[in-house]
Amino acid sequence: MFRAVRAVLEAGRLPDGGHSERADRVAVLGPDAALRLNIHDVARLPAISIGDQIYLVIGILRDTARKPELLGSVIIPEGTARRYFSLAGPGMVVVETRIGAAYMIAEQARMALRPDDPSALRVQVPQEPKRVRDEVQTDLNVMFLLLGGLSLIVGALGIANITLVGVMERTSEIGLRRAIGATRGHIAAQFLLESASMGVVGGIVGASIGVLVVVVVSALQVWSPVLDPAVPLLAPAVGGAIGLLSGLYPASRAAKLEPAEAFRH
């Protein structure tokens, strides 16, 4: 059990098979139990009372990777529990597996431990670290994707608003250009180019800030920064596309202005 839960000793030793076969009255304390009993080491052979029997404390745990309830427990050998506490059999078995084998072992554990009645056992399989990490990574990716989409929508609305205001403020300029021969396509292309330029600049600035944040946080946390080389290249392209889409309505509105109407404004 101690190996399966990856127990770490603070002092003393762990019981072995001989203690269990002889039903020795020895015990190992979890750190919380040792603190409550005011036992800090085993050099002076401390003893505790369980019922009417005296048990010699042979070890004190420091920590366990699994089963944290053992940190506050008094642990005695299985043979001792069978003789003095009428233990019929273990109530729980902890099985440590290699990464990737947990589910296979779980399917075989019932038949291996209770071939006479496999349904008598209930098997609990903790999620493997890699699977938990992948699920967390997926959730984080979805969250950042939603945040990025929201940021793009806000940016698109901002570009559309700025471009539309520019069209309204430059009505006379549009009328003058139409009067000297500019076509509606020329006017639309002008404002589409302006809105796309704002998107490209925004993509460059945003990608630069993002890369800088990753590098700074990694340096502060002593991590190795991992950057996708496609991000600095795709960010301006995506920004330009968003700017182009945002400028469609303002450019269309500017292209529809007639020279006479523009001059009246």
Q: Does a structural domain hold residue 248?
A: yes
Residue 208 resides in a domain? yes
202 and 244 co-located in one domain: yes
Same domain, 258 and 133: yes
41 and 104, same domain (yes or no):
no
Q: What pLDDT score does 168 carry?
A: 85
- Tens of pLDDT along the chain (265 residues)? 898 888 999 999 999 999 999 999 999 999 999 999 999 989 889 999 998 899 999 999 999 988 889 999 999 999 999 999 988 888 888 888 887 788 888 888 889 888 898 888 888 887 666 666 677 778 888 898 899 889 889 989 999 999 889 888 888 888 888 888 888 898 899 899 999 999 999 989 988 898 899 889 888 887 788 888 888 788 889 889 999 999 999 989 888 887 777 666 6
> Tokens 């009505």 appear where?
171
The residue range of the domain holding 115 is: 98-126
If asked whether residues 135 and 121 sit together in one domain, one would say: no
Does 234 reside within a domain?
yes
Q: Which of 47, 72, 94 is the last residue of a domain?
A: 94
Q: Which two tokens stand for residue 239?
A: 């920004």
Q: Are 141 and 103 members of one domain?
A: no
pLDDT at residue 75 in the model: 94
User: 40 with 89, same domain?
Assistant: yes
Same domain, 112 and 188: no
Residue 1 lies in a domain: no
User: Which pLDDT score, from 0 to 100, does residue 130 have?
Assistant: 63
pTM higher than the cut 0.95? no
| 138 part of a folded domain | yes
Q: What's the domain count of the chain?
A: 3
Residues 260 and 185 in one domain: yes
Q: Do both 133 and 121 map to the same domain?
A: no
